[in-house]
């Protein structure tokens, strides 16, 4: 008799990035790099979160250009569009619909506790819109639509992931198991890459140019930004995020990109100065970014290929998203079409 093969479904990943500017080294180390690393083991959906960007005003032409560039960058870091589903959030209408449903299962008090809402409303005091307030609900829908088991993100998304789990558990409690409860996946080193100018804050693409490394920065720009990176008035190179946030950030970037252990790296710099460390970090960043940039320009020169990738991605994503949305709508009590 033939042995019966049990085919197990691969676990699923969903993650996303906003096309609100050129991604930073923080986005790369905290999230994008892990997307590539996990691609073989999981069934992966990677989304360009364009709907999320309009919680802050966007210039239409710029948003369009940045979105296309983001897709080219995802391909350039090595994500194979056959193996992974790469898509624009706005091409899959189920995201907006799921967000409405979940809005009705989320409390105002929960949303007002979100630190990102507090930060962004302070930064954009003239435009504290309802989308900004319910942003985490849209994000919860993104994840739940795909029944994702794992969500690889940086540490700044922890609170959003927690609320996603809360909403999913609440919904499941009311209607029996509709949604998979997702887990976060955070890198051991680099879950929070810090600003080069204010190393107690996270590196962010919306901060002044000198405070972050953009994935498309040229070698000259990388070296200049590294030279200007804030350190401290001591000379000793050691890992101590509390007292030496600038130096520790540079060490973390170095370890994350080379894969070397912190102890070895600190030992190798024991007789060296901050200038040497900055040069070494600049070198590994340039080595990492160069091949990505070459690939990026190649993909950007082939618009029809990019278009075929986003069309196929939207179709594949919609099929899964529709399945979950219909299930949730049926449970709530809407009449089936
Ligand atoms: P976004 O676009 O701000 O960032 C994309 C990813 O990069 C990570 N990240 C960082 N990691 C380490 N250090 C940093 N300095 C740093 N800055 C950013 C973020 O944690 C994130 O993983 N709301 C999300 C996008 C989103 C999403 C989703 C993510 C929409 N729907 C569903 C996961 C699942 C955001 O604004 O990421």
Residue ranges of domains in the chain, CATH in brackets? 11-185+303-332 (3.40.50.620), 209-298 (1.10.240.10)
Which among 202, 225, 244, 278 is annotated as catalytic? 202
> Given the CA of residue 152, which atom of ligand 1 is nearest to it?
22
CA angle in degrees (0–180, nearest 5) for 272-276-281:
125
Mutate to test the pocket of ligand 1, among 46, 52, 156, 193 (most ligand atoms within 8 A of CB): 156
| 202 given a catalytic annotation | yes
Confidence label for 5 from pLDDT (cuts 50, 70 and 90): low
48-88 pLDDT, tens digit per residue, is 999 999 999 999 999 999 999 999 999 999 999 999 999 99
> Mapping DSSP to helix (H, G, I), strand (E, B) and coil, where does residue 204 land?
coil
> Mapping DSSP to helix (H, G, I), strand (E, B) and coil, where does residue 150 land?
strand
Q: Which of 220, 56, 40 is nearest to 124 (CA)?
A: 56
| Token reading at 56 | 């802050």
pLDDT for the residue 9: 81
Beta strand spans in the chain (E) = 12-17, 43-48, 85-88, 150-152, 183-185
Find the mean pLDDT for residues 192-210: 94
253-308 pLDDT, tens digit per residue, is 999 999 999 999 999 999 999 999 999 999 999 999 999 999 999 999 999 999 99
> Given the CA of residue 212, which atom of ligand 1 is nearest to it?
15
Q: Which of 256, 136, 146 is nearest to 192 (CA)?
A: 256
pLDDT for the residue 3: 53
pLDDT for the residue 150: 98
Q: Which of 76, 43, 125 is nearest to 300 (CA)?
A: 76
Cα distances from 180 to residues 145, 150, 270, in angstroms, run 9, 10, 48
| 303 given a catalytic annotation | no
What percentage of the chain has pLDDT greater than the value 90? 93
| Ligand 1 centroid to residue 254 C-alpha, Å | 21
> Given the CA of residue 157, which atom of ligand 1 is nearest to it?
20
| Ligand 1 centroid to residue 222 C-alpha, Å | 22
Q: Is the pLDDT of residue 175 over 80?
A: yes
- The residue assigned the tokens 């007292």 is 243
Identify the residue whose C-alpha is closest to ligand 1 atom 27.
Answer: 16
Please, where are the H alpha helices in 39-103? 50-53, 60-76, 94-103
Under 8 Å between Cβ of 285 and 220: no
Confidence label for 206 from pLDDT (cuts 50, 70 and 90): confident
The whole-angstrom separation of Cα 190 and Cα 172 is 34
| Ligand 1 centroid to residue 52 C-alpha, Å | 11
Q: Is the pLDDT of residue 4 over 60?
A: no
Which among 120, 225, 244, 278 is annotated as catalytic? 120
132-163 pLDDT, tens digit per residue, is 999 999 999 999 999 999 999 999 999 999 99
185: which strand partners?
A: 152
The side-by-side arrangement of strands in the sheet containing 183-185 is 85-88, 43-48, 12-17, 150-152, 183-185
| 188 given a catalytic annotation | no
Under 8 Å between Cβ of 101 and 70: no
The whole-angstrom separation of Cα 63 and Cα 45 is 21
**Average pLDDT of the residues of the chain:** 96
- A 10 A CB-CB count for 177 gives 11
Cα distances from 274 to residues 6, 70, 126, 337, in angstroms, run 56, 34, 42, 66
Which among 11, 36, 205, 327 is annotated as catalytic? 205
Under 8 Å between Cβ of 19 and 48: yes
pLDDT for the residue 152: 97
Q: Is the pLDDT of residue 8 over 80?
A: no
| Ligand 1 centroid to residue 287 C-alpha, Å | 24
pLDDT for the residue 189: 87
Cα distances from 248 to residues 17, 59, 232, 280, 305, in angstroms, run 26, 36, 11, 14, 41
The pTM is what?
A: 0.95
Under 8 Å between Cβ of 261 and 252: no
DSSP secondary structure string for all residues of 298-334 = HHHT-HHHHHHHHHHHHHHHHHHHHHHHHHHHHHHTP
Find the mean pLDDT for residues 96-100: 98
Identify the residue whose C-alpha is closest to ligand 1 atom 18.
Answer: 27
> Given the CA of residue 27, which atom of ligand 1 is nearest to it?
7
Residues within 6 Å of ligand 1 by CB: 14-18, 26-27, 29-31, 49, 52, 139, 142-143, 151, 153-154, 156-157, 191-193, 202-203
pLDDT for the residue 7: 66
Q: Which of 113, 108, 117 is nearest to 135 (CA)?
A: 117
Under 8 Å between Cβ of 142 and 49: yes
Greatest Cα-to-Cα distance within the chain, rounded to the nearest angstrom = 75
Mutate to test the pocket of ligand 1, among 33, 119, 153, 188 (most ligand atoms within 8 A of CB): 153
Q: Is the pLDDT of residue 173 over 80?
A: yes
């Amino acid at each position: 008799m033939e042995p019966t093969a049990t085919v197990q479904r691969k676990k699923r990943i969903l993650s996303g990035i906003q096309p609100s500017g050129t991604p930073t080294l923080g986005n790369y180390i905290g999230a994008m790099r892990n997307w590539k690393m996990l691609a073989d083991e999981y069934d992966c959906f990677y989304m360009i979160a364009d709907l999320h960007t309009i919680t802050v005003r966007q210039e239409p032409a710029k948003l369009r250009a940045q979105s296309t560039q983001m897709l080219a960058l995802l391909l350039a870091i090595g994500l194979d569009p056959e193996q992974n589903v790469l898509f624009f959030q706005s091409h899959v209408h189920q995201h907006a619909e799921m967000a409405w449903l979940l809005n009705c299962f989320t409390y105002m008090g929960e949303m007002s506790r979100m630190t990102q809402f507090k930060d962004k409303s302070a930064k954009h005091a003239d435009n504290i819109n309802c989308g900004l307030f319910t942003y985490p609900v849209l994000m919860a829908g993104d994840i739940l639509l795909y029944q994702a088991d794992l969500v690889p993100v940086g540490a700044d998304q922890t609170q959003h992931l927690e609320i996603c789990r809360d909403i999913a558990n609440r919904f499941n409690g009311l209607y029996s198991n509709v949604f998979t409860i997702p887990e976060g996946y955070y890198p051991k080193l680099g879950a929070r890459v810090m600003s080069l100018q204010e190393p107690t804050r996270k590196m962010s693409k919306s901060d002044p140019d000198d405070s972050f490394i953009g994935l498309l920065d040229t070698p000259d720009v990388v070296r200049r930004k590294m030279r200007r990176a804030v350190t401290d008035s001591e000379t000793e190179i050691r890992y101590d995020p509390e007292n030496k946030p600038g130096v520790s950030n540079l060490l973390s970037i170095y370890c994350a990109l080379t894969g070397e252990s912190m102890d070895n790296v600190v030992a190798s710099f024991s007789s060296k100065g901050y200038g040497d460390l900055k040069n070494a970090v600049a070198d590994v960043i340039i080595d990492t970014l160069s091949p990505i940039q070459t690939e990026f320009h190649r993909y950007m020169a082939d618009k029809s290929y990019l278009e075929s990738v986003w069309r196929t991605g939207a179709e594949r994503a919609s099929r899964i998203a529709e399945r979950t949305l219909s299930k949730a709508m049926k449970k709530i009590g809407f009449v089936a079409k």
